[in-house]
């Protein structure tokens, strides 16, 4: 492997490790969305939501159809909005959640996603507190890892909602991609959140853009982030988030394309350098015949199949504890 590549990845690893409060993570949930095209995502991990009248004055119905929720056969999940009548709604779209399949208290959530362009689209990667006696929304809490207004190619936002700070929450922050970056519509970006008993941090790619402390939340209401949350991915149309704007007919079909979802808990594992999926790492390291990006402890393995042994310099690709 070229020495310059090893040095570059090692530098990225050191910089990324320095930016994160946790030095070790163990992978607890992973979906790379491999599978046959035009099939639903793994039912052991995801529910496909059906809701003909979603909240927030949204203009779409969520339906269970592979036209709206499906694997694409190339390793991604696609959530697709269509200009298509369903009941009283003029649009259909896709939404999945892990309620009853996988829930967790504290850790790191990350997803690599490409967003759709078009005024009126409202994609999101977010979490809701499981109702373990807390009384439902907003008392059980909500963490919005990323939301986007489809007319803003370079701007995303993150937020928290709970009792006393729901709806138009004061706990929200926008992030602007650096000048010269590929937009959210033109390229995949990695959206992440790290959560512990006293703090939530939000990231876009490797940039920490927003930190919410327990004391910040308690200025408005109770800290309700001490129990299991489940994960949601969806594409809404219209709604209150961007002032009820609707897309042009020519903007359909619109897709949220999800490359992977990973969830970790604090532990002894390690993160992939630069948060790149295995196929991109493999292209960067052309002399590797086989690259297995994750085992279930969250460690990355670089194995040259012809030799059958790990590369001697594999630690250059790992973030050490």
CATH code for the domain of 187:
2.60.120.200
Range of the domain at 158: 29-266
pLDDT in the model for residue 182: 97
The arithmetic mean of pLDDT across residues 215-243, rounded, is 98
| Residues 129 and 14 reside in one and the same domain | no
d(CA 223, CA 230): 17
- In percent, how much of the chain has pLDDT > 90? 72
| Residues 247 and 301 reside in one and the same domain | no
| pTM to 2 decimal places | 0.81
Decide if 110 is catalytic. Answer: no
| Residues 125 and 241 reside in one and the same domain | yes
Decide if 78 is catalytic. Answer: no
pLDDT in the model for residue 103: 97
Q: Furthest-apart CA pair in the chain: how many Å?
A: 61
| Residues 19 and 60 reside in one and the same domain | no
Lowest mean pLDDT among 8-12, 121-125, 172-176, 205-209: 8-12
| Residues 212 and 307 reside in one and the same domain | no
| Residues 13 and 68 reside in one and the same domain | no
| Residues 127 and 276 reside in one and the same domain | no
Last residue of a domain, one of 266, 290, 306: 266
| pLDDT exceeds cutoff 50 at 303 | no
| Residues 38 and 81 reside in one and the same domain | yes
Q: 43: how many CB neighbours lie within 10 A of its CB?
A: 9
Q: What share of the chain is helix, strand, coil (3-state, %, to 5)?
A: 15, 40, 50
Last residue of a domain, one of 266, 288, 306: 266
pLDDT in the model for residue 267: 80
pLDDT in the model for residue 67: 98
Q: Which of 58, 78, 110, 147 is catalytic?
A: 147
| Residues 200 and 321 reside in one and the same domain | no
pLDDT in the model for residue 269: 65
Give the start-end residues of each E strand in the chain: 25-31, 47-48, 60-62, 69-71, 77-81, 91-93, 95-97, 107-114, 121-129, 142-147, 155-161, 172-176, 189-195, 199-204, 207-213, 229-237, 254-266, 290-292, 301-304, 309-310
The arithmetic mean of pLDDT across residues 116-122, rounded, is 98
| Residues 307 and 214 reside in one and the same domain | no
Please state the domain count of the chain.
2
**Alpha carbon 142 to its chain's center:** 15
pLDDT digits (tens, 9 = 90+) for 129-174: 998 788 899 999 999 999 999 999 999 999 999 999 999 999 999 9
pLDDT digits (tens, 9 = 90+) for 165-220: 999 999 999 999 999 999 999 999 999 999 999 999 999 998 999 999 999 999 99
Q: Which of 22, 58, 110, 142 is catalytic?
A: 142
The arithmetic mean of pLDDT across residues 226-247, rounded, is 98
The residue among 15 and 35 whose pLDDT is bigger is 35
| Residues 42 and 150 reside in one and the same domain | yes
Lowest mean pLDDT among 52-66, 93-107, 177-191, 294-308: 294-308
| Residues 239 and 301 reside in one and the same domain | no
The arithmetic mean of pLDDT across residues 251-268, rounded, is 93
């Amino acid at each position: 492997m070229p020495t310059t590549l090893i040095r570059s990845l090692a530098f990225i690893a050191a910089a990324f490790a320095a930016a994160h409060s946790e030095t070790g993570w163990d992978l607890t949930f992973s979906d790379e969305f491999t599978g046959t095209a035009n099939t639903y995502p793994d039912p052991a991990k995801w529910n496909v939501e059906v809701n003909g009248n979603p909240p927030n004055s949204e203009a779409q119905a969520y339906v269970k159809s592979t036209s709206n929720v499906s694997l694409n056969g190339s390793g991604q999940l696609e959530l697709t909005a269509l200009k298509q009548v369903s009941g009283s709604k003029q649009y259909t779209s896709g939404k999945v959640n892990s309620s009853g399949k996988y829930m967790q208290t504290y850790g790191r959530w990350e997803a690599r996603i490409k967003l759709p362009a078009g005024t009126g689209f409202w994609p999101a990667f977010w979490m809701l507190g499981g109702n373990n006696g807390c009384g439902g929304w907003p008392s059980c809490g909500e963490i919005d890892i990323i939301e986007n207004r489809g007319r803003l190619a370079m701007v995303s936002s993150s937020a928290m909602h709970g009792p006393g700070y729901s709806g138009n929450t004061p706990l929200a922050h926008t992030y602007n991609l650096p000048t010269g970056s590929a937009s959210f519509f033109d390229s995949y970006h990695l959206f992440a959140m790290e959560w512990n008993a006293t703090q939530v941090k939000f990231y876009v790619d490797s940039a920490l853009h927003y930190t919410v402390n327990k004391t910040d939340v308690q200025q408005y209401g109770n800290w309700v982030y001490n129990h299991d949350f489940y994960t949601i991915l969806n594409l809404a149309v219209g709604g209150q988030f961007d002032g009820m704007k609707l897309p042009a007919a020519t903007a359909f079909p619109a897709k949220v394309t999800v490359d992977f979802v990973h969830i970790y808990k604090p532990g002894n594992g390690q993160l992939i350098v630069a948060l790149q999926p295995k196929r991109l790492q493999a292209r960067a390291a052309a002399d590797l015949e086989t690259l297995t990006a994750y085992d279930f402890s969250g460690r990355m393995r670089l194995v040259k199949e012809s030799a059958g042994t790990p590369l001697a310099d594999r630690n250059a690709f790992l973030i050490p504890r």
